[in-house]
Amino acid sequence: MGKYDTEKLRNLGIVAHNSAGKTSLVEAILYNTGMTDTLGKVDDGSSSMDFEEEEIKRQATLSASLNHCTWNDYSLHIVDTPGVSNFLHDTRRCLRVLGGAVVIVSAISGTKSQTKQIWNWCDQFEIPRIAFVNKMDKERADFLKAVDDMEKSLGARGVVVTMPIGAEGEFKGTIDLVNMRARLYDFDGKGTYHEADIPAELRAEAERLRELLLEAVAESDDELMEKYLEGEALSEEEVLRGLREGTLTGVFTPVFCGSATANIGTRQLLDYIVTCLPSPVDKGIQIGAKPNSDEPVERQPSEDEPFSAMVFKTINDPYAGKLTLMRIYSGTLATDTVVYNPNKDEKERVSNILELEGKKQVSIKLAAAGDIIAVPKLKVTTTGDTLCDLKAQVMYEPLVPLKPIISFALEGKSKADEDKVYTGLQRLMEEDPTLRVTRDEETKEMVLSGMGQIHLEVAVERLKRKYGAEVILKEPKVPYRETIRASTEVQGKYKKQSGGRGQFGDVWIKVEPLPRGSGYEFVDKVVGGVVPRNYIPAVDKGIIEAMKHGVLTKNQVVDVRVTLYDGSHHSVDSSEMAFKVAGSMAFKKAMNACKPTLLEPVMAMEITVPDDCMGDVIGDINSRRGKVVGVEPQANSQVIRAEVPMAEVLRYAPELRSMTSDRGMFSMDFSKYEEVPSHQTAKILAEFGEA
């Protein structure tokens, strides 16, 4: 923006679990600050923030969107973040660069596990928060219960600043406990209200909550504490100062209330956003490092410092091109400026600077420390990169993407689609670093991995809408392995001698099992030149080729030792090719005689669940042939560590969600291969026989 003082900037995210009312609150803020002419609604698709087709269809925020507004001469950059568990990675990336957050607590359902995860990230990034208890006009709304739930589930100390007048159908407005005045609303959607005295029946409760507020703000400041203990009244200005101090230091979380869809309490919330949440100056020095060095580099949030910024999001549009979203930490950025990307060791030209207003883009000439902007058509810059002044280089630590937890195989609906799929997926992965695409060399499948089934389904929908590529999602094949349980000695003889130059190779090998994880070992014990030295590597190659396809499921063979100890050759007809074929023939014959068995991949899982769900989840792990290796208690939850066969957890994400009412989370990594139980082997072989 440039024209605003950095001290009057507020960068904030609106965060919570899905359906708490985040987007509705942003729409109310935009309407009250004059950015929109009408109050956008999620339910009817008129929201200016949820504008992607997939979001309108699901009536949920699936990708963080940006807007900005002004309030009382303060400039606000607002990020509306996803609350659906499959898309919280986008919320996390945004929090990395934000200064503050408004946490929405539902007056009906309180907080959920997604809000707890977001709260923990706010702790990690040291983000001050205020809370807004939403939906006070809805059935079953209970303000104090919601505050209590917030305190218990998030470990927060909630300090009520505005309390409701009534609830559900009787909700009439709010009471500000700082100035002890009531606001009674007209419920006209415009946020119209008039001030009044506190209703007599609520006076005692208001005074009780105000006393708790005064205690909290006094604790945040020694001077205020002394005055409070001496029985002196704190002025409104002193209470606001204490509120700000307590919020910035994380001593407590101020709590406000209202209804986003009815536009009740929004203006009060805006007043306290600019009062309580930090400016970039309050956040202080940003510490990075000199590129290719551990030497720390500091940047002040000032226009006088060299330019530096961090990229936190990329948006690809098939028509408009690539948009790179960044938070400026220091200095200024003007159009037609060349900046440096230390992550890629490349220069980039900034030809245009944009402010995002939902899906709208507005060009500006200059941006300064604290601003959140978008730059179109950068060539090499991706999410997580730093941009800086070439003559004053700094690199900020990028955020490591979360690991994908579910995978599906992809198959183009037609040959024409297959040609578009990879290009489209590359663009989607630029936007979303948690999406991964791999080609499984064994199964020959293209595998798409992400944070959940809905995440992958949305990616597939966007692939079709944006890039015209239609694909089918299928459960990926499990990469089984084969091995042996017994030893044998066999001959492999390849003889093709029927006139002219023939082929002759003859080998004797011993095949025996190795401990799990040993791989393959080839031992040469040939004596007397029965197999010439120059043909022995060919035997090894033939065996390795034969190991690529076992005898049970045609999967790779592992954990075997092959010893070449005898054979014969022909002075004219022997060749490398003949001995390679002989080695392959011998190994295939040996496999059938060595009690072949099947190995399956086992995943190491870490599952975080509420206390009340632990028994069900452990029972489910046992039913999946899994083994619990440890349980670690955390606040209101348990972390279960287990080893479970991959075949049993290909669709674990939706099943865990169902077991825990969407309160559980998990991650998993490959651990090892283990032998498949005999009864399970028969079932797997039957499936392979049908394929």
Q: What is the pLDDT of residues 443-457, one digit of tens each?
A: 678 888 888 888 888
* pLDDT(2) > 60: no
The pTM score is 0.79
What CATH class is the domain 598-690?
Answer: alpha beta
Whether the Cβ atoms of residue 316 and residue 336 lie closer than 8 Å to each other = no
Fold agreement between 406-474 and 598-690: yes
Helix (H, G, I), strand (E, B) or coil at 455: helix
**Model pLDDT, residue 299:** 96
List pLDDT tens digits, range 60-70.
Answer: 888 999 999 99
In this prediction, residues 371-375 reach a mean pLDDT of 96
* pLDDT(208) > 90: yes
Q: What is the CATH number of domain 7-283?
A: 3.40.50.300
Sign of CA dihedral 654, 61, 127, 217: negative
At 152, list the tokens.
């218990």
**Model pLDDT, residue 564:** 96
Q: Which residue in this structure is represented by tokens 């551990």?
A: 294
Q: What is the CATH number of domain 286-388?
A: 2.40.30.10
**Model pLDDT, residue 690:** 55
- Where along the chain do its domains lie? 7-283, 286-388, 406-474, 481-594, 598-690
In this prediction, residues 483-504 reach a mean pLDDT of 88
Residue 38 CA to chain centroid, in angstroms? 33
**Model pLDDT, residue 372:** 96
Whether the Cβ atoms of residue 100 and residue 84 lie closer than 8 Å to each other = no
Residue 483 phi, psi (nearest 5): -150, -175
**Total Cβ atoms within 10 A of residue 194:** 10
CATH 3.40.50.720 assigned to domain 481-594? The reply is: no
Nearest Cα neighbor of 410 from 381, 443, 382 is 443
CATH H-level superfamily of 406-474: Elongation Factor G (Translational Gtpase), domain 3 (3.30.70.870)
